[in-house]
Amino acid sequence: MTKAKLVEILRDMGEEIPDDESAPKNKSPHGKVKYTCKECGGKGICEHNNRKPYCKISRGSQICEHNKRKAGCNVCQRVNILKKKQFVD
């Protein structure tokens, strides 16, 4: 995994990561990472102007069946804990 990719994932998770000056080729003229720049039509942005993995309309990979971010869905997290318990027992 490249550092840029890692930063992108961390940003997706809501972390405040300062722009890395060592990766200028990924920068858009709007001061964002091109991949997730709405103005540039980055590949990471869907037709609804949302980040693809988190677009509820596009049913992104990070959106669960309850129409929430998987990481922040209480129902999913409870189910995951139950599943883990079952495997342990």
Consecutive H or E run containing 9: helix 3-12
Residues 46 to 75: which contact Zn ion by CB under 5 A? 46, 48, 55, 57-58, 64, 66, 73, 75
Among 4, 11, 12, 28, binds Zn ion (CB under 5 A): 28
Task: Identify which range of 1-9, 10-18, 45-53, 81-89 contacts Zn ion by CB under 5 A.
Answer: 45-53
Radius of gyration for the alpha carbons in the chain, expressed in angstroms and rounded: 16
The four Cα atoms 27, 28, 32, 34 give a dihedral, to 10 degrees, of -80
Q: Does 37 bind Zn ion (CB under 5 A)?
A: yes
**Strand ranges (DSSP E) for the chain?**
none
Of 39, 41, 59, 61, the one binding Zn ion (CB under 5 A) is 39
